[in-house]
Every structure is written in C-alpha cells, then in structure tokens.
Amino acid sequence: MTQETPQWRPRLKDIANQEELFTSGQRLCAGCPAGSMARMAMHALPRPKNTIVSQATGCLEVASTIYPYTAWRVPWMHSLFENAPANASGIEAAYKARKRQGLEDDIPDLLVFSGDGSGFDIGVQAASGAIERRHNFLYIIYDNHAYQNTGIQRSGATPKYAWTTTSEVGKKEPGKLLWKKPIALVYAAHDPAYCATASVYHWRDFMKKVRKGMEVEGPAVIHVLSPCHRNWRYPEEQGMQMAKLAVETCFHPLWEYEGETRKYILSAPSRVFALKPEKKKPVEEWLELQGRFRHLFRPKRRDDLIADFQRLTDEDWAFIQKLSNMG
C-alpha cells in the first residue's frame, strides 16, 4: 500500500470541537447505536458544510425526520426504500449539469445511508447500477439484522436460527433457515473505488473508513454492524458490547477492499484474530447473550444448531482470510 498523503487519524479532542450535524431530539429508541453511527459518520466528513445526505427508508430515516421536522443539519433527501443510491446519482448529475452551465463551481460530496432492508434486499439494483455508473458517493449500509422499523420482519441480513416475527420459532422450524447474505463481498465484486466492513464499537476504524470512502474518487461502500436491542433482546446499555463481540467471534470480520490495488486487507481489530487464532472467541458466547437465539439454549440446549452456526461463521471467516492472504 503506497500512500503519499498521511492517513487521516480521528482525534477526539479535535472532533469534539466540530459542529454536530446530527442533533439531539431524534426519536430513535434509547440506546440504539444507529444514532452513534450517524454521528460518527457525520464527524468524519472531509467537507461537512458541503455534503448532501440521501437516505433510504429505515429506522434512522423514520426516527430522525418525522414530517415536518428534521434532525439533520445538512441538506437531506429521502424518497423510497429502493432508490437512495439512484437519488444520489441524480443529485450528482444535476450538479454536474449546473457546473457545465456555470451556475455552480463545486460538486458537493454525497453520502447515502440505508438500513439492511434497503441495502441487502430492496435497494440492491439501484446501488448496483449507481456503482456501475461510477458515481462519486459513499454508501453506508447499517445492518441491524432485520426490518426493525416495521416490526422485526426477517431480511437478507438476518443470520440463521434467529427469531423474527416472520421466522417464528416452533416445533418444526428453529427460526430463520437460511444464512446471511455476504453483502460487502457482493458490492466489492462490483469493483468500487473502496469497500469496507465496520462496527459501531470500533469508532476509530469506522471513522477512518468513512473519511477514506468520502475522499476516494468513485463509488464507495461501507457495511457497518449496528445492533438493535428490540430484536436482538439484550439490555439496552450493551449495544456497543454486542458489536464488539460480533467482531471478536469473527461473525462480522472487519476488512477493506481497495479499488486501486484490487486487494482485500483485514483491518486491525480483525487482524489480531488472524495472527493469533487462539484469541478468537466461540460464537456461542455472542449467541447466548441474545434473546432471539434463546431457543438454542432453553428449554433444551441444541448443540447441533450451535455447531452449525459456528461452522458457517468459520467458513465465512476462512474465506475472508483467504481473500486477504492471511489464512
């Protein structure tokens, strides 16, 4: 990796003096890490006064912009579940046209937020098209593992054996029967300028990735894990710890893909577990803290299902290690 400019390092003392662009008073559930995630992203912007946010439907959109109010101090746009990246490409095209006519002298940075319902299922074709057309925007998918906003329906992001209201636990079915979509790999296969996974607990890592994704010329995608205590059923103050454990069990490994070199690189919080595999925790530790996996432990412990979950996690982790030449 050859970089002429030194990489931006977030320092809390400097960031704390910046203006808050995502304000208080929004209606997210108490303890929802999506609020922290949005704040971290807004504090990492290279040009905060010259950024436009386009947002897909999701918890963050519904809670932060109840008509006619808004919690965002930046120009902000929402249309539907499926077209947040298409909106962003339209905004960029409009600014380009106005620049050509001499009406604007600058094209603003574009930031797209979407939840996992939009990023994994409904909005894939718009995102895929926008990346293919090489629009200059950053697409942040915050993943809380289901459609939490409409009442916990399963999505492509829900892991196997998780309880949701549309994958009920009963005698015949132990929750959802299918594994999670590897969405960051799907977008990385589009060969964007930058693609990464992140978690809300590792704020420094996440903010560096946001800055990198905004500064790079061309499309960038970040898949960030943001736990939800209403579906996952953990005490609300443990949100950051759940995100941390997901990284420590290698359920959600952190890596980045650079379009320039076409290389997959494991990020520091996950590289530890590739170099020292004995530090990696069994995924059972993460599962037993969550109420949505309670049927794997009570009333009867289902060792076969836990072993299956561990096998799928290990397969994904081995694949990422292989991609990044660390395995």
Partner 1 sequence: MTPLKRNPPNRRFTCITYPEAGAMGLTGDWRIFRPVVDKEKCTGCQICWMYCPDTAITMDENNKPVFNLEYCKGCMICETNCPVKAISRVRETEAEAAVEK
Residue 101: CB minimum distance to partner 1, A = 17
Helix (H) or strand (E) holding 142: strand 138-143
What is the side-by-side order of every strand in the sheet holding 109-115?
A: 76-78, 51-55, 109-115, 138-143, 220-225, 194-199, 255-258, 263-266
119 close to 92: Cβ distance less than 8 angstroms: no
Q: Of the two residues 35 and 192, which places its CB atom closer to partner 1 in the complex?
A: 35
The stretch near partner 1 (CB under 8 A) out of 127-135, 148-156, 232-240, 313-321 is 232-240
Binding residue for partner 1, selected from 9, 18, 46, 69, defined by CB under 8 A: 69
Phi first, then psi, for residue 220 (nearest 5°) are -140, 145
- Near partner 1 in 198-227, by CB under 8 A: 203
Binding residue for partner 1, selected from 1, 16, 103, 275, defined by CB under 8 A: 16
41 close to 111: Cβ distance less than 8 angstroms: yes
CA 98 from centre of chain: 32
- Near partner 1 in 82-111, by CB under 8 A: 108
By the rule CB under 8 A, 155 interacts with partner 1: no
Residue 292: CB minimum distance to partner 1, A = 19
Residue 192: CB minimum distance to partner 1, A = 26
The stretch near partner 1 (CB under 8 A) out of 69-77, 81-89, 109-117, 147-155 is 69-77
Encoded tokens for 69: 């109010």
Q: Of the two residues 240 and 323, which places its CB atom closer to partner 1 in the complex?
A: 240
Binding residue for partner 1, selected from 5, 6, 7, 12, defined by CB under 8 A: 12
d(CA 162, CA 296): 9
The length of the chain, given as a count of residues:
327
DSSP symbol at 121: I
Q: Of the two residues 23 and 125, which places its CB atom closer to partner 1 in the complex?
A: 23
- Near partner 1 in 27-66, by CB under 8 A: 27-28, 30-36, 39-40, 49-50, 66
Binding residue for partner 1, selected from 44, 56, 59, 71, defined by CB under 8 A: 71
By the rule CB under 8 A, 181 interacts with partner 1: no
Binding residue for partner 1, selected from 179, 238, 271, 284, defined by CB under 8 A: 238
3-state secondary structure of 189: coil
Q: How many chain residues interact with partner 1 (CB under 8 A)?
A: 39
Residues β-bridged to residue 147: 153
Q: 58 to each of 122, 123, 141, 229, how far by Cα in Å?
A: 12, 12, 11, 16
The stretch near partner 1 (CB under 8 A) out of 174-182, 231-239, 249-257, 318-326 is 231-239
Residue with tokens 């132990």: 174
Task: Quickly list H helices, the chain.
Answer: 12-15, 33-43, 59-64, 84-100, 116, 124-132, 183-188, 203-215, 229-232, 239-248, 268-275, 284-287, 303-323
216 close to 191: Cβ distance less than 8 angstroms: no
Residue 284: CB minimum distance to partner 1, A = 22
Binding residue for partner 1, selected from 23, 125, 165, 325, defined by CB under 8 A: 23
Binding residue for partner 1, selected from 175, 239, 253, 259, defined by CB under 8 A: 239
Give the interface with partner 1 as residue ranges (CB under 8 A): 12-13, 15-16, 20, 22-28, 30-36, 39-40, 49-50, 66, 68-73, 75, 108, 203, 236-241
